[in-house]
Amino acid sequence: MKTAFKKPVASFLVLTILISLVCSFLTFPAVFAADEIPGDPMVWYTQKWLNQEYGNVPGFGKVVANGKTGWDTVYGLLRALQHELGIKNLSDSFGAATTELYQKDLLYRQDGITDKKFAILQGALWCKGYNPGYYLRETSDGTVVFEEIFDASVESAIIQLKKDAGLTNPDGVVTLNVMKALLSMDTFKLLVSYGGKPEIRTMQQKLNRKYEDYIGLMPCDGIYGRNTNKALIFALQAEMGLPKEVANGSFGPATRLCCPEIPYAKVQNAARRYPGTSAEAFYTDPEISVFTEFLQFALYVNGFGSGAMDGVFNVETEQNVRDFQEFHALEISGTATLGTWWSLLTSSGDPNRPVSGADCAMKLDRAKAKTLYDHGYRIVGRYLTNVPGGRDKAITKEEAQIILDTGLRFFPIYQAGGAANAYFTEAQGASDAKTAIAAAEALGIPGGTFIYFAVDYDATDDNITTNVVPYFEKVHEIMSASVYKTGIYGTRNVCGRVAAMGYSENSFVSNMSTGFSGNLGFRMPDDWAFDQFANLEGENALGQGEGRVEIDKNAVSGRDRGVAFLTEGTLTATPTSSKVLVDGKEIAFDAYNILGNNYFKLRDLAYVLNGTPKQFEVGYDGKNDAISLIDGKPYTPVGGEMASKGKGIKTPTPTKSKIYLDGKEISPQAYNIDGNNYFKLRDIGEAFDFGVDWDGAKNTISIDTGKKYTK
């Protein structure tokens, strides 16, 4: 899966938003029958007028008259303006020529003057949801009539738009930035029904107010998207002292060099104002307060904090930083380090940070697997099948065993296409799920394993709704009837939306595709298991010679432990013959050996460890089929604990229940035997940090609550 860089895909505003902004306080004159006009009447008349006045202009084309504001209408207004400015080669871009000519002839109130540019302005205001004071009308011969004027009513609409954008003491001049905002799909009203938050809108307005020279006018809808993300980086660059010709809204080398660690100390290696190399250019306390406010905002839009942005690095802010770092599998310090800023403001974060996960298309032999292990990697994503006509990247049983023998685990990825929207249909979802299940079974991948189905393109919101969600509905339906679980690979937006529908349980997030519209401005999905954020290929590949391997680096959340063993035929559970000591005392447990590992009944372990430093509570939510574990809480017996000893060989089935430790989902290996859940002892030891030792000579398992867990 390669990193893809694409132009931003703008978010479309649906008709209902625009209608609500206008129709909620307007009454239209009775010059038309409402049931004869599609959509918003003023938008519809604007579209008809554009075709009427400019339809024969070379290069203008035609605007669809449907009463719905969209890019087609916005581009029509832009081309009309270009024509009135004298531009011959019309385009859908507010480019250099349009900028230069419009700056020479800004629109402003001129009583008694008529101008077609005033009509274009009024049309843009209607489409943006502002009432310029004059209603379009249609004569008996079908001609649409515009009042081509710019008087007090039009000026009032411009002033209101500027107020909504956060500008103080606004006048009625249609500046270059205002015209660009009008000829876009940005909105400046709080969109509560679309998840808009007042706290975000307040910051959006503040960014416009303080940094318009850097960012233009960004939307003020209360929704954190790529425009707000980019504007926040511009604001950082402005506070760092980057000149406007240097600032670019990207978290690049100059920005990273000047990015202050919060709390800030004026020490030798501290970041300084641009260019970042002056010995005396330390940041002042007021400047650090501004950076802290930006930090609080970045934390809030990423899901951490209450929305208070006072510029004070207090206990709450420090805890929010810690929580963010823990969630994103960063080093937990409570300090806003450069790496923390990097992950707050970009989808990929610091590409050089050390991690234990990877994925690769290369087949792994012993030399390559050893290279991964020697470089600190412990789990690797591999493909179950090949893409028709593509390279041979499917994992074999021999390779899987090599991976395991090397001390690695692996997680299976399914991709037989998935690089274009048309691929994703219900029928394809059903077919892919069946193929993935068959491939996993043929490899001997045990039940309970997550299989990650790939969405390897920049799916827009519309694509997700019409194609991706129906595809995963079928995938999940068929996977749920198997022993395997459904995972998804894709952008943050793709993973988050499919998970919200209940059609996936773990996400493998394509964060290194920083140019994808579904990443920048979107929060990391709550169910992320793997975070693909950097590529090591070419001269950056790991190892040399036969051990050389190209990978994508993956951060690991711990939700998915991957495949640790392969099965052969029917899985069996044999009663454990080993002696078990708990803090030196022999205890007769109901335990089984499955594929060389010991599995203990969960409630028996909780019962025996009750009252020790490693006690834990066990709860079960039957409605949601969820097991909850609470570290440090006394265990509440339910009856039946330690009542029996395993007898005879059993056939275990993977536990399908979700498992939560202190509210966070985990993925220990577990099986159901005769209606009871048995967990791998070492997984429980790791979860609650108690010692687990094995003495082969004495055939004895030791559990020591006074020791820490070691692998």
Same domain, 177 and 300: no
Same domain, 381 and 285: no
pLDDT of 23 over the 80 cut: no
| Percent of the chain with pLDDT strictly greater than 90 | 82
325 occurs within a structural domain:
yes
**Which residues are registered as beta bridge partners of 598?**
593
Quote the domain boundaries for residue 426: 357-556
Q: How confident is the model at residue 279 (pLDDT cuts 50, 70, 90)?
A: confident
pLDDT in tens, 600-612: 999 999 999 999 9
- What pLDDT shows up at residue 2? 43
Q: Which two tokens stand for residue 221?
A: 């809808």
Same domain, 72 and 184: yes
Average pLDDT over residues 473-480: 96
Residue 532: which of 360, 338, 331 has the closest Cα? 360
Look at 56-70, 133-147, 633-647, 686-700 and tell me which has the smallest mean pLDDT: 633-647
Same domain, 104 and 246: no
Same domain, 369 and 324: no
- What pLDDT shows up at residue 649? 86
Q: How confident is the model at residue 596 (pLDDT cuts 50, 70, 90)?
A: confident
What is the widest separation between alpha-carbon atoms in the chain?
103
Q: How confident is the model at residue 43 (pLDDT cuts 50, 70, 90)?
A: very high
Average pLDDT over residues 454-472: 97
Same domain, 682 and 585: yes
- Cα separation, 149 vs 139, in Å, equals 19
Average per-residue pLDDT for the chain: 92
Q: What residues contact residue 20 under an 8 Å CB cut-off, 6+ apart?
A: none
On whether the CB atoms of residues 672 and 655 are closer than 8 A, the answer is: yes
563 occurs within a structural domain:
no
**CA distances to 22, 128, 221, 466, 623 from 14, in Å:** 14, 11, 13, 16, 37
- What pLDDT shows up at residue 35? 52
On whether the CB atoms of residues 451 and 410 are closer than 8 A, the answer is: no
Q: Is 652 exposed, middle or buried (0-12, 13-18, 19+ CB in 10 A)?
A: buried
DSSP state of 697: T
Same domain, 145 and 20: yes
Q: How confident is the model at residue 30 (pLDDT cuts 50, 70, 90)?
A: very low
Q: Do the strands 409-414 and 137-138 form a parallel or antiparallel pair, or are they unpaired?
A: unpaired
Distance from chain centroid for Cα 446: 29
- What pLDDT shows up at residue 1? 52
DSSP per-residue codes, 336-360: B-HHHHHHHHSSS--TTS--SEEE-
pLDDT in tens, 378-420: 999 999 999 888 889 999 999 999 999 999 999 999 999 888 9
Q: Domain boundary at 295, 316, 345, which?
A: 345
At residue 707, φ and ψ (nearest 5 deg) are -110, 155
Same domain, 318 and 361: no
Q: What residues contact residue 173 under an 8 Å CB cut-off, 6+ apart?
A: 106, 107, 108, 158
Q: Which two tokens stand for residue 549?
A: 């391997």
Look at 7-16, 36-45, 196-205, 427-436 and tell me which has the smallest mean pLDDT: 7-16
Question: Residue holding tokens 């789990």?
Answer: 379
- What pLDDT shows up at residue 31? 43
Say how many domains are in the chain.
Answer: 4
- Cα separation, 13 vs 19, in Å, equals 11
- What pLDDT shows up at residue 461? 94
Same domain, 537 and 629: no
- What pLDDT shows up at residue 658? 86
The SS3 call for residue 125 is helix
Q: Highest mean pLDDT range out of 362-371, 389-398, 562-571, 575-584?
A: 362-371
Q: Domain boundary at 276, 311, 345, which?
A: 345
- Cα separation, 18 vs 40, in Å, equals 8
**CA distances to 50, 74, 119, 183, 459 from 116, in Å:** 11, 16, 5, 16, 39
- What pLDDT shows up at residue 571? 74
Q: Is 590 exposed, middle or buried (0-12, 13-18, 19+ CB in 10 A)?
A: buried
218 occurs within a structural domain:
no
Same domain, 691 and 627: yes
- What pLDDT shows up at residue 652? 86
pLDDT in tens, 305-360: 999 999 999 999 999 999 999 999 999 999 999 999 999 999 999 999 999 999 99
Q: Which residues of 422-436 are buried (b: 16+ CB within 10 A; e: fewer)?
A: ebbeeebbbebbeeb
623 occurs within a structural domain:
yes
DSSP per-residue codes, 594-647: ETTEEEEEHHHHHHHHTTSTT-EEEEEETTTTEEEEEETSPP---S-TT-----
- What pLDDT shows up at residue 550? 98
Q: How confident is the model at residue 17 (pLDDT cuts 50, 70, 90)?
A: very low
Same domain, 610 and 535: no
4 occurs within a structural domain:
no
At residue 694, φ and ψ (nearest 5 deg) are -130, 130
Same domain, 266 and 389: no
- What pLDDT shows up at residue 29? 42
122 occurs within a structural domain:
yes
pLDDT of 280 over the 50 cut: yes
pLDDT of 637 over the 50 cut: yes
398 occurs within a structural domain:
yes
pLDDT in tens, 150-163: 999 999 999 999 99
On whether the CB atoms of residues 359 and 381 are closer than 8 A, the answer is: yes
196 occurs within a structural domain:
no
Question: Residue holding tokens 């393109």?
Answer: 457
Average pLDDT over residues 240-259: 97
Q: Domain boundary at 524, 556, 588, which?
A: 556
Q: How confident is the model at residue 646 (pLDDT cuts 50, 70, 90)?
A: low
Conformation bin of residue 23: beta by default, left when phi > 0, alpha when psi is -120 to 50 = alpha
- What pLDDT shows up at residue 391? 87
- Count of CB atoms within 10 A of residue 506's CB? 24
Question: What CATH number does residue 429 fall under?
Answer: 3.20.20.80
Residue 636: which of 607, 608, 662, 669 has the closest Cα? 607
pLDDT of 216 over the 70 cut: yes
- 275 preceded by a cis bond (ω within 30 of 0): yes
Angle (CA) 566-572-578 rounded to 5° is 100
pLDDT of 574 over the 90 cut: no
- The more confident residue out of 446 and 33 is 446
- Cα separation, 276 vs 257, in Å, equals 6
Q: Which two tokens stand for residue 697?
A: 């000579």
Q: How far apart are the first and last CA of the chain?
A: 32
Q: How confident is the model at residue 656 (pLDDT cuts 50, 70, 90)?
A: confident
- What pLDDT shows up at residue 32? 46
Q: Highest mean pLDDT range out of 2-16, 467-481, 592-606?
A: 467-481
pLDDT in tens, 79-106: 999 999 999 999 999 999 999 999 999 9
Look at 10-19, 94-103, 115-124, 162-171 and tell me which has the smallest mean pLDDT: 10-19
